[in-house]
Amino acid sequence: MPHFSDTHVESLPFAELAERFGTPLYVYSRAALTQHFLAFQQALSHRPHQICYAVKANANIAVLNVLARLGAGFDIVSRGELERVLAAGGMPEKVVFSGVGKLDHEIERALAVGIGCFNVESAFELTQLNSIATGMQKTANIAIRINPDIDAQTHPYISTGLKENKFGIPWREAFALYEKASRMPNINTVGLACHIGSQLTQLAPFIETFDQMYTYYLALKNAGILLKHIDLGGGLGVCYQQEIPPTPQAYVAALLARMTDPSVEILISPGRAIAANAGVLLTRVIHLKQVADKNFAVVDAAMNDLIRPALYQIEHAIVPVNTQSNAPKRRYDIVGPICETGDFLGKNRDLALEPGDLLTIRAAGAYGFSMSSHYNSRPSAAEIMVDQAQAYVVRDRETLASLFAGEHCLP
Ligand code: LLP
């Protein structure tokens, strides 16, 4: 049985959840999260591996806690994400720290709690890390993030593996950096990392990347630099409308088939493939508006709650909760109350709608709430997680008072 139907999440009706918790409301399913994580874990079960969920996809501590309890590690990109992982009961030794601009205090905290690996993205960062680790009398485990110059064939904003992108280091520079790192007393070289982009729907770019990475791994081995793991990043896509991305099983099988050395640990950091289809955004139609030749359904969620349609022109499926509507079917743009024409959640959707109807915006569990903002002074939506027949508030709806609680007028 799917975790989300038109009308229910698990055994709970959306209509009831909307009454109880209000809208806009992010609704997550624990069972879906679990299933998506286990798909990767089971596919990798016969090899040394670590699945480091990319916290940025959905950083709610309940989500992190569910995954930590299943044995997940975490890919973080800030101290804020690290603190969330720790608060959620994640193990620091299973944390990898990615990102092109790590701050001294972030590195210090990560060293103090003993994270598993820093994914180093520049020569500057290597020196910075070595000097902080030396000062703290700690050893930092590192992987160097390679920029393989491979086209992930995805939206340009979320393509990260091309040489013109800000991420990673070209191989020829990385090799010299490995040699340098191996001479640094407070640095322990343990891995080789990359991440070529997000929402990949084809296997080919992953395979091409893996082949390159594996060649580099062997070249380093020949040079006497023996690494423990290869980190392939995240990026596996999900279905928003028509896409048919590879399954986690097919993705893992394709990688493992090309790996001749079974001792090397595979590290992956999927975010979207675990979280996207574990959540929907529940919203209510405020009213229907017709102008010229266009119909608008104005709903109570907006681009501040879910920016993906506006930012990447991604079409999330939008499903009415009332499947018995007698209203006439019309072609609608689903828009929010924000004062921008870019504030839309979906365009040209043929739906039978009436004011007060509920809609679910699908596959919103990843990069939904985590990219939300307060634009137009809209308080953050509440988030709930459903676990079988129970619904738990995992983030309270923000109050109006807390919206500007940290702001101060001049004396
Ligand atoms: N590892 C690293 C180093 C990353 O930068 C990312 C995502 C991931 C893992 C996880 O990628 P995933 O498995 O989720 O594709 N806001 C955009 C996506 C940005 C992804 C950024 N990096 C969106 O809404 O589509």
Asked whether 135 and 141 are in contact (CB, 8 A), the reply is no
Best probe residue, ligand 1, of 272, 306, 311 (max atoms within 8 Å of C-beta): 272
Cβ of 158 less than 6 Å from ligand 1: yes
What is the b/e burial string over 311-333, where b = at least 16 CB atoms within 10 angstroms of the residue's CB? Answer: ebebbbebbbbbeeeeeeeeebb
Q: How far is the CA of 296 from the centre of ligand 1 (A)?
A: 32
Cβ of 57 less than 6 Å from ligand 1: yes
pLDDT at residue 154 in the model: 81
- Number of C-alpha atoms within 13 angstroms, CB side, residue 8? 11
**CA pair distance 161, 154, nearest whole angstrom:** 11
Paired sense of beta strands 73-76 and 49-54, if any: parallel
Q: Same fold for the domain at 8-27+277-403 and the one at 99-268?
A: no
User: 52 catalytic, yes or no?
Assistant: no
Paired sense of beta strands 8-9 and 344-352, if any: unpaired
Cβ of 235 less than 6 Å from ligand 1: yes
The C-alpha angle with vertex 101 and arms to 363 and 145, in degrees rounded to 5, equals 75
The C-alpha angle with vertex 293 and arms to 288 and 294, in degrees rounded to 5, equals 35
Distance of CA 212 to the CA centre of its chain: 25
Cβ of 234 less than 6 Å from ligand 1: yes
**CA pair distance 311, 300, nearest whole angstrom:** 19
pTM of this structure? 0.97
In ligand 1, the atom with minimum distance to the C-alpha of 193 is 3
Q: How far is the CA of 194 from the centre of ligand 1 (A)?
A: 12
pLDDT at 292 over 90: no
pLDDT at 168 over 90: no
User: Mean pLDDT over residues 62-82, rounded?
Assistant: 98
In ligand 1, the atom with minimum distance to the C-alpha of 198 is 15
In ligand 1, the atom with minimum distance to the C-alpha of 271 is 14
- Residues whose CB is less than 8 angstroms from the CB of residue 244 and which lie 6 or more positions away in sequence, other chains included: 201
pLDDT at 1 over 80: no
DSSP state of 199: S
Domain 99-268, CATH homologous superfamily name and number: Alanine racemase (3.20.20.10)
User: Mean pLDDT over residues 110-127, rounded?
Assistant: 97
3-state secondary structure of 180: helix
Q: How far is the CA of 63 from the centre of ligand 1 (A)?
A: 16
Tell me what percent of the residues of the chain surpass a pLDDT of 70: 100
Asked whether 365 and 28 are in contact (CB, 8 A), the reply is yes
Q: What is the 3-state secondary structure (H, E, C) of 44-101?
A: CCCCCEEEEEEHHHCCCHHHHHHHHHCCCEEEECCHHHHHHHHHCCCCHHHEEECCCC
Domain 8-27+277-403 is found in CATH 3.20.20.70: no
Kindly report, residue by residue over 212-237, the tens digit of the pLDDT: 999 999 999 999 999 999 999 999 99
Q: Quickly tell me which residue has 């009308």 as its tokens.
A: 7
pLDDT at residue 259 in the model: 86
Kindly report, residue by residue over 126-155, the tens digit of the pLDDT: 999 999 999 999 999 999 999 988 887 888
Mean predicted lDDT score pLDDT of the chain: 96
- pLDDT grade for 159, boundaries at 50, 70 and 90: confident
Kindly report, residue by residue over 314-328, the tens digit of the pLDDT: 999 999 998 888 999
- For residue 275, give the H/E element and its range: helix 272-275
Residue ranges per structural domain of the chain: 8-27+277-403, 99-268
